[in-house]
Structure 1
Amino acid sequence: MKKTLILSCALALAGLSNVAMAADGGQGFVRAELGRSEVDVFGENDNDTAYSIRGGYFFNANIGVEGFYSSLYDQNVGTFDTTLTAFGAGVVGKKNFGADGNGFFIGGRAGLANYKGEIGSEDETSTHVYAGVGAGYDFSDAFGLSLNYDFNRPEFDDVDVDADSLTLAGEFRF
């Protein structure tokens, strides 16, 4: 059921982006993010390097869609390799405060993510919502930098995981 929901959302977003590309005023983007994650399981916290590769399409200056891959955790815990990754798709919103559409901005994003958690040879998947907020500066129509905070809450066999990340991002628009 969850895989069907993800596939349906992905197909709907792909269809919307094709319609948007035919219209004037849209802009594609690719964003690379690097920062720090804090993972909390059963009250135990650990930090790791987090990164994401995101891409999508802005229908106009304020609303768009995105797809992404994120690595939230990759450490050896005891004798086990432990990882937490996510693939997802969602909507993004952005409000620029510069007169020409550049300058300072705030933004947000939300959607569905398929999380994969691995401990040793055991792995599980979980589909849940994700959300994030950010602020930054667009230097031109084609490039901007931002600081982003994302909220990830996968659940594996009734084990709640909090995996929040704070990242610096560079976004290229075309």
Structure 2
Amino acid sequence: MKKILVLSAALALAGLSTSAMAAGGQGFARVEVGNSDVDVDVSGLGSGSDSDTGYSLRGGYYFNDNFAVEGAYNSLYDQDGAELTSFGVGLMAKKSFGANNSGFFIDGRIGVERVKGDVDGSDTSTEPYYGVGAGYDFSESFGLSLNYDFHSADFDGVSVDADTLNLAGEFRF
């Protein structure tokens, strides 16, 4: 079921991006760096939490001023032999408050991601992700933002939630 969901989302996003290119949209690349708070609940054993510096590499295509498709790689946690990463695809909505896509803006994103957890062996989980952000576009091709994203995963009796707060630089071309 989850594989069908991922395939369906990928095909839908591919169709949207093809339409976008025909309409003359704009590509983007984004780098995010910040704090990742990870909560782990192991069935029958208890729970714990930790934080780490996390980062995201995102790219996609705005098919108009307010909507985009995105692909992302996220490094959510990497300490003491434990690693949590993800690859995802999603949709992003953005509302700019300045002329010519400059000035203050807010945005939101939602999608599906494949989360990989690696401690003594790796396991994967396909789950939705979502996030919000606010920032400032200095020009039509560059902006900075502060973003909050929520990621989750369920691995055979282990539930993981990762909340990230990142500073991002976005380049549009």
Q: Compute the TM-score of the two structures, normalised by the length of structure 1.
A: 0.93
Q: How far does the alpha carbon of each residue in 1:93-151 deviate from its partner, in whole angstroms, 9 at most, with x for none?
A: 1001113321000000001010000002x111001100000000000000000000001
The aligned counterpart of 1:45 is 49
Give SS of 2:3's match: helix
The aligned counterpart of 1:151 is 150
Unaligned runs of 5+ in 2: 42-46
The aligned counterpart of 1:30 is 29
Distance 1:98 1:19 in 2: 26
Distance 2:144 2:6 in 1: 29
Equivalent position amino acid for 2:122 in 1 = D
Number of residue pairs aligned between Structure 1 and Structure 2 = 168
Q: Per-residue deviation at 1:162?
A: 1.0
- After the TM superposition, which of the residue ranges 98-107 and 143-152 deviates more from structure 2? 98-107
Within the alignment, does 1:75 sit opposite 2:79 as a pair?
Answer: yes
Structure 1 stretches of 4+ moved >4 Å: none
Q: Per-residue deviation at 1:18?
A: 1.4
Q: Per-residue deviation at 1:59?
A: 1.1
Q: Per-residue deviation at 1:45?
A: 1.2
The aligned counterpart of 1:89 is 89
Give SS of 2:98's match: coil
Distance 1:34 1:83 in 2: 17
Distance 1:16 1:60 in 2: 11
Q: How far does the alpha carbon of each residue in 1:16-35 deviate from its partner, in whole angstroms, 9 at most, with x for none?
A: 201210113x1110001111
Q: Compute the TM-score of the two structures, normalised by the length of structure 2.
A: 0.93
Unaligned runs of 5+ in 1: none
